Amino acid sequence: MRKPIWNYVTLALETLPINEPVYEFGAYQVEEAPENCDLRPLLQGKDYIGCDMRDGPGVDKVLNLHDIDLPDESVGTVIMMDTLEHVEYPHQAVNEVHRVLKPDGIVIMSSVLDFFIHATPNDFWRFTPDGFRSLLKPFNHSHVGFYGREVFPHSLVGVGFKGAVPNLDDYLARYEKWSKEQSRFVEKVTLQLMREVVAAADKAGE
């Protein structure tokens, strides 16, 4: 899991009411993952089930997000980090998530916009903030955020509440800090890349 997303998951788990059982969709731990992608250390003592469309490392149960083989209102929290870009019908998937969540359940999710194609095994979509808000329409309340440039964010994050909305002051304060820190980092990296491109062009023109 990418470090910025790991940090977002951490702040969300520490500031939001995490009901059980917790189902993570997209739990398959790919070998080339640059950072730790196992959420179990963050959810110690919680009833956690790692799910994916394929069996493998980190997967406790194989489930298809398009048609989740779980009863209505049986899940406390759903986590989907950098998963929805690999789901062919994301609205259908989020509707299924809403169905299986308990009345007070929540979903925590992220995806990308300004990001390279990465097939694991398929890469279908890129999302804008409006796109995330559209996905979360079935929920009683939602928060959508991002980091990166406002006109072209790097990554999107969102949380949806099926029932009553908890106090979000701590969550929103930590989200704002996280978003600003990650956006500054993206700006710094982008500037450095631009300098390298200009330097290479100048050298080629000598």
DSSP element (H, E) containing 200: helix 169-204
Q: Which of 2-6, 23-27, 189-193 has the lowest mean pLDDT?
A: 189-193
pLDDT digits (tens, 9 = 90+) for 26-65: 999 887 655 678 999 999 999 999 999 999 999 999 999 9
Instruction: Check which CATH number belongs to the domain holding 65 and give it.
Output: 3.40.50.150
What are the DSSP calls for 106-119, one per residue?
EEEEEEESS-----
- The total of structural domains in the chain comes to 1
On whether the CB atoms of residues 64 and 9 are closer than 8 A, the answer is: no
Q: What is the rounded average pLDDT of the residues 149-161?
A: 95
**What's the whole-model pTM score?**
0.90
Length of the chain: 206
* 139 DSSP assignment: S
Q: What is the rounded average pLDDT of the residues 6-26?
A: 97
| pLDDT at residue 205, as a whole number | 65
pLDDT digits (tens, 9 = 90+) for 106-153: 999 999 999 999 876 799 999 999 999 999 999 999 999 999 999 999
Short-list 122, 103, 123, 104, CA closest to 113? 123
Q: What is the rounded average pLDDT of the residues 154-169?
A: 97
Domain span holding position 63: 3-204
Q: What are phi and psi of 133, to 5 degrees?
A: -65, -35
DSSP-derived 3-state class of residue 42: helix
**Residue environment code for 40-70, b if the CB has 16+ CB neighbours within 10 A, otherwise e:** eebbeebebbbbbbeeeebbeeebebeebeb
On whether the CB atoms of residues 4 and 148 are closer than 8 A, the answer is: no
| pLDDT at residue 30, as a whole number | 80
